[in-house]
Amino acid sequence: MDTHTRRPVSAWHTVEVCLRHNLRERRGNLTLSMSYDDTPHPHPLPPSALLPDAVASDKAKALPPELRGGYYAISTALRGAAKRDAAHDWTTLSEIMGFQFTPGNVAEPFHPKAIFGDRRSMIPDDLTDAQLDRLSEYVTNLDDDLVVARAGDVLWLRQRDVKAARRTVEAYLAAGIASEDPNHWTTCFALYERGVRLARQIEPKGELPRRLLGYLEGRVRHYDGDDPLYLSLKIMDLLEEVRFGDFAALAEIAGRIASKSEEAGDFRRAQEYYATQARLLKRAGDRDAAEAALCARAQTFVSEAEDQEKAGSFIAAHKFWEDSVQAFQARPSLRARLPDLRRRLAEAGRGVLGEMKRVQSDSVDLTEQVDAVQALFRGLPRQDAIFRLALIDELIDPVKLREQTLATLKDSPLQTIIRADVFDQAGRKIAVRPALGSGDSKVEEAAIDGFMDQNARFHRHFAVHAALAPAVRVMRDEHDLGQEEIAVVIADSHFIPTGRLGLFARGLEAGFKFDSSTALHLLIPQAENSLRHLLEGEGIVARNINTDGVEEVWGVERILDHPKATDVLGAECVYELRTLLAGRLGPNPRNVVAHGLVDEDHLNGQIGFYLWWVILRLVVVGSPQLAAFIARLNAAGSSEEAEAEV
């Protein structure tokens, strides 16, 4: 069975409120189309004279150190003021100060703090003219740089008030200086960054942005490599982006921080600083030195992988060996080492399997279901038993499965924020089930498909143990199920092309012996050929001709993607075949059988047996004799009902 390591994100807005930091880019233009309760507040925003005391409330002072002195603290204080003063609209002002702040988004730096279904909290476009007038008063009268910056920024966005914008830039700079702490750098850098981007909007080539950028370059020189975290990095990235500063000097500082971080074992920080150093060196025109920095960065992944292996974590090490291979592949001078890195990656993959833990639920007593199924099969003629086995369970309905999966994820949203890596039996990572919430529709669908596949495995597990295997055991006890006996039952199936009956009979015989390995080696290629045969019977030419005139037949993925396949087989059958035969997140036996990637025991597992049953069902459904069997079942049912009435 495929094994997952989990490192996912909700597709529902009810979860977005908890995970909004992962969804900022997604919101963009969506926020305007969402509903906001714009019922006018009966009272105005508080006048500027009341704000200093409210902002300095004890409630804000009681926050943890990293939350004091920022917009969260101000918003918290204003919510407290709303309880003490009902004559003013402190709640709306608290929302304004509590906007989700994304300073890197020039056009929309403020997003709603919360989204619930099709409703959201406030954004700047919701403010009334009277409220904007009060914000203008704050810009003119207040000395609190954070309040002035937020009020002036909103005025810029709504009214393009250049005068307010200049005051806002100065306020952002002053607020950043006041809150600067290299150990808690995110608040001050957000203020610096928004100040720079706003200054560049109102004076693209003027003195105002140059003054801010010059100040920031000076802060990097001030720390001179002794920055304990990432403030220098973020400032240098911003300077490089806007092409400002002494790039060679900044690159030298970035290189020193990267080297010290690497020596201290802080490889992630080293990787960030080496990457920034390389970009700065490219700006400085020194491409050889930039390449050297990128090579140094690549080596940090090797060091990190080795450290993780020494610590006994192959799951973590595998990730960094994977990063190493990608980093070395990107550097021509390092590619000679790729064979060794790939060997180390494979070794780590094998270690991952030993490190994984099995997750299982409490056992379920299936005795009642098993007894009921076996009672259905006792005493049946061989042909009827084979037909009843083919129809004993319904195929998975992908529409219902999706609905059930979404409902499950909605009830348990935390599992959606973890990505899952899929490993095969040899420890190779063969697929990734992404997390939800990226905002990319293709990634979202891939994530949902992955969770659907997970739930499909649960269904298949119970189908095998509660119905399919118990039924086959009764049939083995009561009937000869050799090739000849099976061939008689399936000989007229439209699913079997001319000349393939013996192969199908041998494959189905192996399945009745619970030898799924042999069965699938025979049946998978024959089933794929039969699917092409069905399409061709519908007038679809399931092959291509290349430029040399050579004909190439379609593979199973292309066959199942054709609309006619769904018309002929049904959406349920197509889903089963796609996920069982070719799905990257599923068992993918077509690929592993063709390339010899799994051993006998793996194919003899429950998924292999379930796939054997799906192919048996396709064969039986294609038999004209099935209609007579169903008629006998219906007649027997009517007879039983009549006896019950008597």
Contact 420, 8 (CB under 8 A): yes
Q: What is the pLDDT of residues 73-111, one digit of tens each?
A: 888 888 888 888 889 999 999 999 999 999 999 999 999
pLDDT at 16: 28
By the 8 A CB rule, do 416 and 435 touch? yes
Residue 414 half-sphere exposure, CB side, CA atoms within 13 Å? 0
DSSP 8-state secondary structure symbol assigned to residue 414? G
Mean pLDDT for all residues in the chain: 83
- 118 in a domain, yes or no? no
- Characterize the bridge pairing of strands 543-545 and 420-423: unpaired
Counting Cα atoms < 13 Å in the Cβ hemisphere of 223 gives 27
Give the DSSP letter string of 485-540: HHHHHHTT-TTS-TT-HHHHHHHHHHHHTT-HHHHHHHHHHHHHHHHHHHHHHTT-
Three-state SS at 111: strand
Residues 494 and 622: beta-carbon distance below 8 Å:
yes
Instruction: Flag whether 252 is in a domain.
Output: no
| Total number of domains in the chain | 1
Asked whether residue 301 carries a pLDDT value surpassing 80, the answer given is: yes
How many residues can be counted in the chain? 646
Rounded Cα–Cα distance for residues 441 and 443 (Å) = 5
Asked if residue 116 has pLDDT above 60, the reply is yes
Helix ranges restricted to H, 207-286: 207-223, 231-242, 247-263, 267-283
Partners of 421 in the β-ladder: 5, 432
Confidence category of residue 15, pLDDT binned at 50, 70, 90:
very low
Could you list the residue range(s) of the whole structural domain that residue 457 is in? 367-375+382-645
Mean pLDDT confidence for 176-205: 94
Torsion over CA: 592, 594, 599, 600 (sign): positive
Query: What confidence category does residue 446 fall into, taking pLDDT thresholds of 50, 70 and 90?
Result: confident
Residue tagged 């025991």 (tokens)? 601
Residue 635 lies in a domain: yes
* Nearest residue to 325 (alpha-carbon basis) of 429, 423, 419, 425: 429
**Residue 544, beta-bridge partner list:** 552
pLDDT at 262 (0 to 100): 95
**In 3-state terms, what secondary structure has residue 474?**
helix
CB atoms within 10 A of CB 491: 13
User: Is residue 442 in a domain?
Assistant: yes
Mean pLDDT of 576-582: 87
Taking the C-alpha atoms of residue 491 and residue 386, their distance in angstroms, rounded to an integer, is: 13
Comparing 633 with 38, which gets the higher pLDDT? Answer: 633
Contacts (Cβ under 8 Å, ≥6 apart) of 513? 476
Distances in Å between the alpha carbon of 80 and those of 3, 40, 143, 255? 50, 21, 21, 47
Nearest 10 degrees: CA dihedral of 425, 427, 428, 430? 60
Residue 321, in any domain of the structure: no
Helix (H, G, I), strand (E, B) or coil at 551: strand
Measured CA to CA, the distance from residue 37 to residue 26 in angstroms comes to: 22
User: Is the residue at 568 inside a domain?
Assistant: yes
Of the candidate ranges 65-74, 463-472, 541-550, the one whose mean pLDDT is the lowest: 65-74
pLDDT value of position 25: 36
Q: Which residue has the higher pLDDT, 58 or 253?
A: 253
Q: Is residue 579 part of a domain?
A: yes
Q: What is the pLDDT of residue 36?
A: 55
CB under 8 Å to 7, separation ≥6 — which residues? 418, 419, 420, 421
Residue 57 lies in a domain: no
Q: Is the pLDDT of residue 24 over 90?
A: no
- Residues 548-563 have a mean pLDDT of 85
pLDDT at 417: 64
Of 55-59, 82-86, 230-234, the least confident: 55-59
Do residues 79 and 91 touch, judged by C-beta distance below 8 A? Answer: yes
- Mean pLDDT score, 205-229: 95
The span from the CA of 297 to the CA of 604, in Å, is 45
Instruction: Please indicate whether residue 275 or residue 22 has the higher confidence score (pLDDT).
Output: 275
Q: Which pLDDT band holds residue 347 (cuts at 50, 70, 90)? A: confident
Q: Return the pLDDT at 203.
A: 92
Instruction: Give buried/exposed letters for 403-422 (b at 16+ CB in 10 A, else e).
Output: eebbeebeeebebbbebbbb
- Distant-in-sequence, close-in-space partners of 222: CB < 8 Å, separation ≥ 6: none
pLDDT in tens, 322-340: 899 999 999 999 999 999 9
Per-residue pLDDT tens for 424-435? 555 556 566 777
pLDDT-derived band at 548, boundaries 50, 70, 90: confident
Query: 237 is written with which tokens?
Result: 């990235």
What confidence tens digit (pLDDT) does each residue in 365-419 have? 788 888 898 998 999 999 999 999 999 999 999 999 999 888 887 777 666 666 6
pTM: 0.63
